[in-house]
Structure 1
Amino acid sequence: MLLPLRDRTLCYDLVGPESGEVVVFSHSLAADLGLWAEQVPPLLAAGYRVLRVDLRGHGGSRGAPGPYTIDELADDLIAVADSTGIERLHFVGLSIGGAIGQSLALRHPHRVASLMLCDTQSESFPDAANHWGKRIETLQQTGTVESIADETMGRWLTQGFRESHPQRWQQIRATVAGCTVAGYVGCAQALANFNYTGRLHEVTVPVLVTCGSEDPRATPEESRRIAALFRAGRYEEFVGARHVPNVEQPENFNRVLGAWLQETRASR
């Protein structure tokens, strides 16, 4: 489904019973809503309503050229929620999606029931200007995200997963390669210019921070530190996974997610 707005069009997928509690998913840079395919069936079976939204310039979404901000990307989710009559939601975000979740909880606290933040960060990395600057330069020179697709996949998933799930690996790689340069650059610029660290103590809803033990960038050590900054924060690790544990270890991830949602429902 598409939501046309003044300067952008947002692509989203909403399934499940209208009476169900809503779980919203926000994917990583260079992915799309299909990154959460493994999570949808068990949530529907448990009676939840599931909303997945593509970032600007990713999947079926389109937007004006960036730079974007994390707050603007969070407001895109609110725009979709408003258009579909969703008042309150459980949020699950990976990487940049986790940063978007922090913005939602800080700026729209009445809309958020819980947060699950996966393999993410609470502020731009110290080397953000150089790190993202080099990638942006590469993309602008080549005109395609294909030029960094293999490097990205190496950070996201282990070689063991590639060998045991070649079709799923190829699906994700094709999605990365097909991301628009404008969408990637605009969202990368958002990641290079944000900082919520000093405000995370303001978040009052329950927060679960998770991380793959082999994530080379959003490390377990950093994830534990982020979890400790929340009033009601907790940390859980997916041993052996890299940056996308929901794909690499779906059964384990779904077990953790299901238990977390049950716990936060029971605590209200």
Structure 2
Amino acid sequence: MTTTLAPAVFARTTRGSGPGLLLAHGAGGSIEANYGPIMDGLAAGHTVVGVDLPGAGETPQPDAPLDVEELVDQLVAAADAEGLDTFAVSGYSLGGPVAIRLAARHPERVSSLVLSAAFAHADTRTDLATSIWHQLYETGQHTLLANYLSLMALSEGALNTLNPAQVQAAVEQLAPVIPAGTGDHVDLVRRIDVRADLAGIAVPTLVVVTTADPLISPALQRELAAAIPAAEVAELPTGHLPFAERPQEWLKLISDFLARN
């Protein structure tokens, strides 16, 4: 079995049995926040291993800027610790480029990729959106940030099913639990760039495009898909939070793809 030299130090969640499936979550999220609603379904057919980024879940905050290579090392270390020789990788949002980098560095370990609401780099629009996110977090304006995330993460249709009082109630729930590592995560969103890895991705890949996404535009997601040879594309009519708006449809897309690959 190929192993990594890095010890597994990030907190991880392990569920189920069967073929390996690594999960990489998004900025300002965690494994539970981003994959919790579909975890039972994923674990029904796989040994699911999810790793929380620094400052999320039970993983301590970092003392230096996040480095994608370290995140890849920790995902592989978690797989090693759970006895997984090969595995599929599901990357959501920021977890997408992390998953791509993992597949590029360890092609012999990765059996397939699922990239949801993902990007290879931040375009100007994404950089602007995340710079505001970063500033609101770093200046302690967490209630205003929760309002901003409601606007930028939910689809127009989903947001408009709520009245202002319901939005405010949701904001009041979200603001106190924004992960401590959010600033570090969003900083990495602005810096990460895996475009050079895309042409070399040879494993079966599914790109789930969130077609009503205000944060990571569908155009940027399709640009990613077009650069990966033979990537399959599935369109999901949701905002940036498929686990909140359309969890069962998202689960079915992932499960059906993994069953075929």
Percent of aligned positions that are identical: 23
Q: CA deviation at 1:69?
A: 2.1
d(CA) in 1 for partners of 2:191 and 2:11? 25
Select the residue among 201, 207, 226 that pairs with 2:224. Answer: 226
Asked if the contact 1:74–1:103 (Cα under 8 Å) also holds between the matched residues in 2, the reply is: yes
* Residues 21-53 of structure 1 deviation map (CA, whole Å, 9 limit, x = unaligned): 0112221111111121222222333x3111122
Q: CA deviation at 1:127?
A: 5.6
* Residues 119-146 of structure 1 deviation map (CA, whole Å, 9 limit, x = unaligned): 111013236665544433332322x644
d(CA) in 2 for partners of 1:56 and 1:170? 28
Report how many residues are paired.
Answer: 251
Change (3 A) 1:171 1:66: farther
Whether 2:28 is the aligned partner of 1:30: answer yes
Asked if the contact 2:97–2:193 (Cα under 8 Å) also holds between the matched residues in 1, the reply is: no
Partner of 2:41: 42
**If the length of structure 1 is used for normalisation, what is the TM-score?**
0.82
Q: CA deviation at 1:66?
A: 3.1
Asked if the contact 1:14–1:52 (Cα under 8 Å) also holds between the matched residues in 2, the reply is: yes
Partner of 1:155: 152
Select the residue among 187, 203, 208 that pairs with 2:206. Answer: 208
Select the residue among 93, 96, 99 that pairs with 1:95. Answer: 93
CA RMSD of aligned residues (A): 3.0
* Residues 136-193 of structure 1 deviation map (CA, whole Å, 9 limit, x = unaligned): 3332322x644412211332234359749x99x9889846642344x11222222221
d(CA) in 2 for partners of 1:248 and 1:195? 28
Change (3 A) 1:156 1:62: same
**AA aligned opposite 2:250:** F
Whether 2:157 is the aligned partner of 1:136: answer no
Please state whether the residue corresponding to 1:117 is helix, strand or coil: strand
Asked if the contact 1:114–1:206 (Cα under 8 Å) also holds between the matched residues in 2, the reply is: yes
Unaligned runs of 5+ residues in structure 1 are 1-5
Partner of 1:196: 194
Unaligned runs of 5+ residues in structure 2 are 1-5
Partner of 2:10: 10
**AA aligned opposite 1:246:** F
* Residues 48-88 of structure 1 deviation map (CA, whole Å, 9 limit, x = unaligned): 11112211101211132331122222222112112222221
Q: CA deviation at 1:10?
A: 1.7
Q: CA deviation at 1:256?
A: 1.0
Asked if the contact 1:31–1:172 (Cα under 8 Å) also holds between the matched residues in 2, the reply is: no
Select the residue among 58, 65, 73 that pairs with 1:60. Answer: 58
